[in-house]
Amino acid sequence: MKDQTDSSLPPPPAYNETQTPGASGPGNPTSYYQSEETRDFIPDDFKYSTTVVSCEPQVRRWFMRKVYTLLSFQILFSFAFCLWVSRSTSLQEFVYQKQWLFFVAMIGGIVSCIWLTLAPRASDYDEDSSLLNSDAADPQPLAERSKRPWYCLSYRGQLALLAGFTVCEAYTLSLVTLVYEPRTILSAMLITGIVVVGITAMAVSDRFEATVTASGTIYYWLNLAVWLLIGIGFSSMFFGMNSTVDLIYSWLGAAVFTVYLFIDTQLIFRKVYPDEEIRCAMMLYLDIINLFLYILRILGRNRDD
């Protein structure tokens, strides 16, 4: 009797047999099929605790889209504001009469840049708080001690600070562009766009992945070059600068920020976390704006000569 019962049971399904997603039952045996959604699902704690290069392609594409969306809005707003100032006579008079706003915008841009650069990640405090609450017998005092400090911004706070930083930079940039002719500005914008596209294509390529290992040494020399540029710029305010030195100074600045753009583009896709897109957009924005200013200075000097 036992042999007859066992022989009437259906055979087990094969592992390579697939079924319609979400369907199960006697006519549709269980299989190991995974849909596209279940295959791409990644827990949030894994997404934000590892670098971008270690994440799934879905997360990397999502991160790249967010970084370049923010960067595009920053650049478009900056150049649109400069165009508005160059076309409006009343706004130009306001800018010239309120020159103290230039220094306010410059200080505001520096403060917001340093804040966004050095502020710790909010997720680090959230992870520490969850660990303390899970291990402590009395979690409330430890949770209070693990609260975020005042300088640790939420995501909305970072967006607001990035918007304020962009407004400050656009205002200072508008005063600089008023010195040059519109044709020179358009030429500098075109050259900057070509350089940015070319450098970005090179940086995301796997051929230059080894450059990241030497980024510490490269950053050391780049920082020295930036301090040299700052020193020459301050000295020129008091002692002036002849055309030859000014041209060398401009070419040096353009070369430095071209390398900065290359290294920063590599680092944001290989060394940062997926929730740091605001900081990365600010880094690339500074590289592009400084590169544009030095190219504009080169073109302006050539036209004067």
| pLDDT given for residue 208 in this prediction | 60
What are 49-86's pLDDT values in tens digits? 577 777 777 887 888 889 999 999 999 999 999 989 88
Residue 183 CB neighbours (<10 A): 10
SS3 assignment, position 14 = coil
Which of 25-39, 159-173, 267-281 reaches the highest mean pLDDT? 159-173
Tell me: pLDDT of 36 over 50. Answer: no
Indicate left, alpha or beta for 120 from its phi (over 0: left) and psi (-120 to 50: alpha): beta
Looking at the chain, list the stretches that DSSP marks H as alpha helix, in order from N- to C-terminal side. 2-7, 36-40, 44-47, 57-87, 89-97, 100-118, 122-135, 139-145, 155-177, 182-203, 215-239, 243-268, 277-304
Q: Which CA distances in Å does 61 have to 156, 176, 274, 283?
A: 22, 36, 10, 19
Here the tokens at position 20 are 């319609």
| pLDDT given for residue 265 in this prediction | 86
| 219 alpha carbon, distance to own chain's centre | 17
**Which residue has better confidence, 219 or 66?**
66
SS3 assignment, position 25 = strand
Please report, rounded to a whole number, the percentage of residues in the chain having pLDDT higher than 70. 70
What are 275-301's pLDDT values in tens digits? 888 989 999 999 999 999 999 999 987
Burial of 95 (0-12, 13-18, 19+ CB in 10 A): middle
**Model confidence band, residue 39 (pLDDT cutoffs 50, 70, 90):** very low
Tell me: pLDDT of 133 over 70. Answer: no
Looking at 214-274, list the stretches that DSSP marks H as alpha helix, in order from N- to C-terminal side. 215-239, 243-268
